[in-house]
Structure 1
Amino acid sequence: MRAAIATSDYHVPGETFINRHIAHLFGGDTVIVTGRFNGDDAHGKPIFERRATPPLSDLIRAPFWTLWNRARHKTTRLPFGHQKAALAAFLRTERVEVILAEFGTQALALAPLANELGIPIFSYFRGTDASKSLRPARMQAAYRRMMPRLAGVISVSQFLLDNLAAHGVTHPNAHVIPSGVDVRRFAPGDKQTLSCLAVGRFVEKKAPLTTLRSFAEASEGLDAARLDFVGDGPLLEHAKALAADLGVTAKVRFHGAQPHDFVRSALARTEFFLQHSVTAADGNTEGLPTAIQEAMAAGCITVSTRHAGIPEAIDEGVTGYLVDEHDAAGFTTAIRTALTAPDRAEMQARARTVAETRFDNDRLLAKLEDTIRTSLGRG
C-alpha cells in the first residue's frame, strides 16, 4: 500500500519515529508531504513541499481563502489555489492510497483535500498537537470538524486520547500505538555503578533544574554517583551555574546536543535514567517520551513523573519510580531509593523485558500497518 507521510519539517534527524515510517511503512512504499523541506533528503523519496513560495495569483487570493477556510473548516492551514492543485496532482501521480499525518496539525491541513480525492487519511497524535496546540477554542473546533474526515486516529499514549476527549475531540476508530524503539540497537551493556543520565532539551517541560537539584541532594554521601546531561536549550547555562552553586561540578557533566549514537552508547552503560517531565505553563506536555522507551530497552531504571503517558510505560517499583509533577522532595527521595535499591540488577532486567514486550518498534510498525489495513477493509 503506497502511503504519503505528512510532516511539518523534513528531514529532522531527531524525529526517529517519523523517519522510520518514511523508511519502512508498508515496506518503504512511501512519499513525503512536508510543510518545509530543508534540502536534506535522507531517504530518496518523492517530496512535496507545501510551504514553497506560492505564485502571485495565490498571494492575491490569500485573504479570501483565509476567511473561507476559517469559516468552513475552522482553520487557515489548508492549501488553496495553485498549491492545492499541485498537491492533488502529486498525490495522484504518486498513486497514493493512504495518508498518514504524523501530527494532528498536519491532518488539519490535508483532511479536506484527502476527502476530495477519495484518499483515506489517518492522524498520529504525539504530544504538543494534543496538549499545547489544543488549548485555543478555535483549535478544538477545528479538530472536532476534522474528526469525521479521518479514517482513524492513532496516539502514542492513552493520555493524549483522553486529553482530546476532554475537549470534545473523539473518533470511533482510535488506537494507542507508541512510537517504540529499536530494541536490537538499544540494549544493556556494562553498567557503571551509580551512573545517571538525563536526555532532552533544557526547557521548562523537562524541568532540568529540578532533576539537577534532586540528584545533588539524593547523591550526598555517594561519592561514586554521577549524572550526565545530554541536550541543549535555554536553561542549559542556568543548569551549569546551579551545579556550581550546589558544589556538584565533579559529579555532573554537560555534554550538550549529541547524535543519537552517543545517546545509545551512554544508555547502554547507565544504571538510572532521570526525567522530571512536567506540564509547561503553555500547556505543552509529553506524549510518551521516546527517550524513556530507549532507556528501558537499554536496561535503565527510570525515575520520572506521573506525567502524560509515562505511567503507561513505567511500572512503579518494578521497572522504575514515579512522583507527581513538581514534587522536588519526592523526586529526591525516589532517586535516593533507586541509587540504594538492593535489587537494581533485577529491575534493570525487568525494564529490558518490558521494552521488548511493549516497545519493539518492529512489532509496533506491524501493528500500525494492520490497524490501517483493517480500518480500510484490507485486513
Structure 2
Amino acid sequence: MRAAIATGDYHKMGETFVNRHIEHLFGGDTVIVVGRSNGDDPYGKPLFMRRRRFGPADRALLPYFTLRNALVHATSRVPFGQGKHELREFLRTQRVEVILAEFGTQALAVAPLGAEMGLPVFSYFRGTDASKHLRSRRIRRAYRLMMPHLAGIVSVSQFLLDNLAAAGVTHPNAHVIPSGVDVRRFRPGDKRPGSCLAVGRFVEKKAPLTTLRSFAEATRDHPEARLDFVGDGPLLAPAQRLAEDLGVAEKVTFHGARPHEFVRKQLESAQYFLQHSVTAKDGNTEGLPTAIQEAMAAGCITVSTRHAGIPEAIDEGETGFLVPEGDAPGFTTAIARAFAISDPAAMAVRARSVAETRFDNDRLLARLEDVIRSTVRA
C-alpha cells in the first residue's frame, strides 16, 4: 500500500518517529508531503512542498479562499488554486492509496483534499497538537470539522485522546499506538553505579532546574553519583549557573545538543533516567516521551512525573518511580528511593522487558499498518 506521509518540516533529525514511517511504513512504499524542506532528503523519496509563493492567479483568489476556508474548515492551511491542483496531481501520479498526517495540525491541510479524492486520511496526534493547540477555540473547531474527513486517528497515548475528547474532538476509529523504540538498537550495557541521565530541550515543559535541584539534594550522601544532561535551550545557561550555586558542578555534565547515537550510548551505561515533565503555562504537554521508552529499553530505572502518557509506560515501583508534576520535594524523595533499591539490576530487567512487550517499534509499526489496512478494507 503506497502511503503519503504529511509532515511540517523535513528533514528533522529529532523526529525519529516521522522518519521511521517515511523509511519503513508498508515496506518503505512512501512519498512525502511537507510544509517546508531544508533540502536534506536521506531517503530519496518523491517529495511535494505545500508552502510556496503564490502566482498571480492565486494571489487574486487568496481573499476569497481565506474567507471560505475559515468558514468551512476553520483553518487557512487548506490548499487552493494552483497549489491544490499540483498536490492533487502529485498524489495521483504517485499512485498514493492512503495519507498519514503525522500531527493533527498537518491533517488540517490534507484531510479535505483526501476526502475529495476518495483517499483515506489518518491523523497521528503526538503532544502539542493535542494539548497546547487545544487552547485555541479556532483549532478546536477546525479539528471537529476535520473529523468526518478522516478515516481514523491514532495517538501516542490515551491521555491525548482524552484531551481531544474533552474538547469535543472524537472519532469512532481511534487507536493508541506509541511511537516506540528500536529495542534491538537500544539495549542495556554495563551500568555505571550512581549514573543519571536527563535528555531533552532545556525548556519549561522538561523542568531541568527541578531535576538538577532534586538530584543535588537526593545524592548529597552519594559521592559516586553523576548526572549527564543532553540537550540545549533557553534554560541551559541558568542550569549551568545553578549547578555552580548548588556546589555540584563536578558531578554534573552538560553535553548540549548531541546526535541520537550519542544519546543511545549514554542510555546504555546510565543506571537512572530522570525526567520531570510538567504542563507548560501555555498548555503544552508531552504525549508519551520517546526518551522514556528508549531509557526503558536500555534498562534504565526511570524517575519521572504523573504527566501525560508517562504513567501508561512506567509501572510505579516496578520499573520506576513517579510523582505529581511540579512536586520538587517528592521528586527528590523518588530519586533517593531509586538510589536505595536493594536490587537495581532486577528493576532494570523489568524495565527492559516492558519495553520489549509494549514499545517494540517493529510491532507498533505492524499494528499501525493493520489499523490502516483493516480500515481501508472496511
Q: Identify the TM-score tier after normalising by the shorter chain.
A: over 0.9
> Which residue of 2 is the match for residue 238 of structure 1?
238
> Which residue of 2 is the match for residue 371 of structure 1?
371
> Which residue of 2 is the match for residue 316 of structure 1?
316
- Counterpart residue type for residue 40 of structure 2: D
CA distance in 1, matches of 2:22, 2:110: 18
CA distance in 2, matches of 1:167, 1:269: 42
User: For residues 298-354 of structure 1, what are the alpha-carbon distances to aligned partners after superposition, in whole Å with 9 as ceiling and x for unaligned?
Assistant: 000000000000000000000000000100000000001001211211100000000
Matched, 1:37 2:37: yes
Is the partner of 1:161 in helix, strand or coil? Answer: helix
CA distance in 1, matches of 2:140, 2:10: 26
**Counterparts of residues 1-379 of structure 1 (less than 5 Å):** 1-377=1-377
Cα distance, 1:74 vs structure 2: 1.1
- Counterpart residue type for residue 261 of structure 1: E
Normalising by structure 1, report the TM-score. 0.99
CA distance in 1, matches of 2:375, 2:348: 37
Runs of at least 5 residues in structure 2 that lack an aligned partner in the other structure: none
Cα distance, 1:58 vs structure 2: 1.4
| Structure 1 segments (4+ residues) deviating >2 Å | none
CA distance in 2, matches of 1:207, 1:359: 25
Cα distance, 1:62 vs structure 2: 1.4
Runs of at least 5 residues in structure 1 that lack an aligned partner in the other structure: none
CA distance in 1, matches of 2:324, 2:45: 43
CA distance in 2, matches of 1:54, 1:223: 62
Alignment length (residue pairs): 378
Cα distance, 1:142 vs structure 2: 0.6
Is the partner of 2:53 in helix, strand or coil? Answer: coil
CA distance in 2, matches of 1:316, 1:147: 35
Cα distance, 1:75 vs structure 2: 1.0
Cα distance, 1:42 vs structure 2: 1.0
Cα distance, 1:57 vs structure 2: 2.0
User: For residues 224-255 of structure 1, what are the alpha-carbon distances to aligned partners after superposition, in whole Å with 9 as ceiling and x for unaligned?
Assistant: 00000000000000000000000000100000
CA distance in 2, matches of 1:287, 1:312: 10
Cα distance, 1:52 vs structure 2: 2.0
CA distance in 2, matches of 1:368, 1:277: 27
Give RMSD over aligned pairs. 0.7
- Counterpart residue type for residue 336 of structure 1: A
- Counterpart residue type for residue 134 of structure 2: L
- Counterpart residue type for residue 46 of structure 2: P
Is the partner of 1:233 in helix, strand or coil? Answer: coil
CA distance in 2, matches of 1:193, 1:57: 66
Cα distance, 1:56 vs structure 2: 2.5
Q: Structure 1 vs Structure 2: percent identity of aligned residues?
A: 72
Is the partner of 1:376 in helix, strand or coil? Answer: helix
- Counterpart residue type for residue 338 of structure 2: A
Is the partner of 1:196 in helix, strand or coil? Answer: strand
Is the partner of 1:122 in helix, strand or coil? Answer: strand
Cα distance, 1:99 vs structure 2: 0.1
CA distance in 2, matches of 1:35, 1:75: 15
Is the partner of 1:202 in helix, strand or coil? Answer: coil
Cα distance, 1:54 vs structure 2: 2.4
